[in-house]
Structure 1
Amino acid sequence: MEAVVGLLVMLLGVSHGVETYCDGRQNRTQCYGALGGTVVLQLMDSASEIFKYQWNKNKTTAILHGRKDKIVSNEMKDRSIFTPSNGTFRINNLIRTDGAEYTLKIFDSNGRESGQRTLQLSIQAPVSSVRLDTGCLSQGEMRVSCSSEGGDSPQYSWTLDGHTLTDAQLLSGNKETNNITLKQDVSGRLVCSVRNHVSNVSKEEKISTCGFIFINCTLPDGTNISQWVFSATNTLCIDLTTTPTMITDTTDNSLLVCGLRAAVVLSLLVGIAIYFAWKKKKYNKVETSSRPRIKDHPENSFSMVEL
């Protein structure tokens, strides 16, 4: 079935467009190609100086035969090209069965084998797209899930504002997995990258906190409260709340209290002064009204009557 799919892809000229390169001049090299894409394998420096060479698949199936600059046979000629001048073998429209161990054998002019080396070619489907899903948990933590379409053996990595996520920002989960939980105060540009050996795709999303604040105070009855609460419905520590991100300025409050106290004391002093002034005025009035009046005419005085 994969061979038929590969043939259809080749005939229609359709390709994922992913091209990889691998230098196979070292023995036992690991190479990767993208499913439906192209791989360029460097088999040798140049074939012009090699008397005879043979490239086999899984040790038994002959793929390429050649003598110096002349290609004797190429069993994959429908979708591959060998360039003797630079020693590269290009395979297009890769299919799963292209993944195998390949062996290059070199012979001298006497027909004796003078060298041999192998390479392992693995075929992987490239990652096509990445999706991010976020959700708030009961205590204000944020659950983030990163999912990808396609892609064999995907590997995940996370960054926040261009920097790798730290353990201090994670409540749970590993920054190399596709599911993480962020702490309550984490916000910024979150990026999930998904990669394998033939592709690398990322997704960015701007995240903000879930609206929780951290309160830490002691109530009048001595109860200590230290926890994360939803800011919009919080009724705890209203006057005493202190949070890591919001510090109450006690200087202004102290000045206000002192001013109010001074105003109260001044009002009391003024009231007392007014009271005593009123009291004194009233006393003087009573004293004046009770004092006996002296008549202007001496004949009506007590002394005249006595005489």
Structure 2
Amino acid sequence: MIGNSSIDLDEGTDGNISCSVKNHVSHAQNTIRLKPCPGLDRFCRFNQSDPCYTALGHKLNLMMVLDASEYDLKIIKRIINTADGPVCRVKNGRMRDCDLYNNRPGVTVINETLIINRVIRADSGNYRLKLDSSDGTETSRDLQVIVEAPIGSVEVSIICSSSGVMRVSCSSEGDPLLYSWTLNGDPLMDGNSSIDLDEGTDGDISCSVKNHVSHAQNTIRLKPCAGPTTAAVTSSLTSSVTSSVTSAVTSSTQTSENDTSFSSAGINVTMNVTPSPEAFRWMCEC
């Protein structure tokens, strides 16, 4: 939409959004990364084939059946693939004899949906929903729940090595972490938390970190590394100064037996020669 200073999006919208502002003489633009609104509910179904990924500390809705009044339900957490663990019975839309979520006031059943208001690590695991119908038949459905910690803030740092390599590193909280990089909008190597670039690389580099439940990104401005020339320049300057001083001193000692001052290559040297040729003192000002 064009023309307004604000825009409404669905709370689950994800991606990069840009706002461009212009008039007849100039324009400017800013782009930010959208994140799903905090507390966004996650919905999973007991008949889905893919794992149910849910965020630690967030809300999870596990949809059981369309009409629970036709069944007596049992939700079982399977400790091992062939063994049953704690059970939670659901009858007439209410939890009964629920060892599975004992002492969890934030867990309830509403409209054939098991609601966990605050997911914890222990909620990860394999679950089986058993449906006992009034005619005596029994069916079951399985679901794997995987709890992941949401991505935290993303930090990007740069280290310039003496070998001429610029190492850019990325770090964040959360699990598991999948990294991807772009340089001036162009994709770079994915999968690693650090990347090596040429020391003269310039521009905007972005590190994006994501897992199954969240993502975050940070962009910084690269600056070329200062070249490893300081030691070489210092060595060259020292050699030049030593050579000039030696040359000037040699010339001076051949022409005077008394105190002598001279200037060579921008270096002022004062020589005080004592009567004894074995003892003399140098005073040099650069």
1:154 maps to which of 177, 189, 212 = 177
| Cα shift at 1:52 | 2.4
Is 2:42 aligned against 1:21?
A: yes
Instruction: Look up the match of 2:224.
Output: 209
Tell whether the 8 Å contact from 2:155 to 2:170 is kept in structure 1 after alignment: yes
2:186 maps to which of 145, 163, 166 = 163
TM-score by length of 2: 0.57
Instruction: Look up the match of 1:81.
Output: 108
Tell whether the 8 Å contact from 2:72 to 2:89 is kept in structure 1 after alignment: no
For 1:54 and 1:206, the matched residues in 2 are separated by 55
| Cα shift at 1:138 | 2.7
Is 2:206 aligned against 1:191?
A: yes
For 2:183 and 2:210, the matched residues in 1 are separated by 18
Larger Rg: 1 or 2? 1
For 1:140 and 1:161, the matched residues in 2 are separated by 21
3-state SS in 1 of match to 2:51: strand
| Cα shift at 1:126 | 1.7
Is 2:172 aligned against 1:127?
A: no
Instruction: Look up the match of 1:225.
Output: none
Instruction: Look up the match of 2:55.
Output: 34
Task: Give the structure with the higher percent strand.
Answer: 2
3-state SS in 2 of match to 1:128: coil
For 2:60 and 2:115, the matched residues in 1 are separated by 6
Change (3 A) 1:186 1:42: farther
For 2:225 and 2:41, the matched residues in 1 are separated by 43
Consecutive unaligned residues in structure 2, runs of 5 or more: 1-36, 79-83, 234-286
For 2:39 and 2:210, the matched residues in 1 are separated by 13
Q: Deviations over 1:115-165 (max 9, x none)?
A: 2111111222222221111022235431111111x3122111111222311
What does 1:254-293 align with in structure 2 at a 5 Å threshold?
Answer: none
What does 1:48-197 align with in structure 2 at a 5 Å threshold?
Answer: 48=69, 50-58=70-78, 59-67=84-92, 70-73=93-96, 75=98, 76=101, 78-84=105-111, 87-113=112-138, 115-148=139-172, 150-165=173-188, 174-197=189-212
Tell whether the 8 Å contact from 1:146 to 1:178 is kept in structure 2 after alignment: yes
| Cα shift at 1:106 | 1.3
For 1:74 and 1:123, the matched residues in 2 are separated by 25
For 2:136 and 2:74, the matched residues in 1 are separated by 12
Q: Which amino acid aligns with 2:132?
A: F
Instruction: Give RMSD over aligned pairs.
Output: 2.8
TM-score by length of 1: 0.54
Q: Deviations over 1:22-50 (max 9, x none)?
A: 432435541122222221222233424x3
3-state SS in 2 of match to 1:190: strand
Tell whether the 8 Å contact from 2:201 to 2:223 is kept in structure 1 after alignment: yes
For 2:91 and 2:184, the matched residues in 1 are separated by 54
State percent identity of aligned pairs. 31
Change (3 A) 1:74 1:82: farther
Compare 191-200 and 131-140 and name the one that shifted more.
131-140
Q: Structure 1 runs of 4+ off > 4 angstroms?
A: 16-20
| Cα shift at 1:185 | 4.2
Equivalenced residue count is 187
Consecutive unaligned residues in structure 1, runs of 5 or more: 1-15, 166-173, 213-228, 235-307
Q: Which amino acid aligns with 1:163?
A: D
Q: Which amino acid aligns with 1:130?
A: V
For 2:174 and 2:185, the matched residues in 1 are separated by 24
Task: Give the structure with the higher percent helix.
Answer: 1
Tell whether the 8 Å contact from 1:22 to 1:32 is kept in structure 2 after alignment: no
Q: Which amino acid aligns with 2:169?
A: S
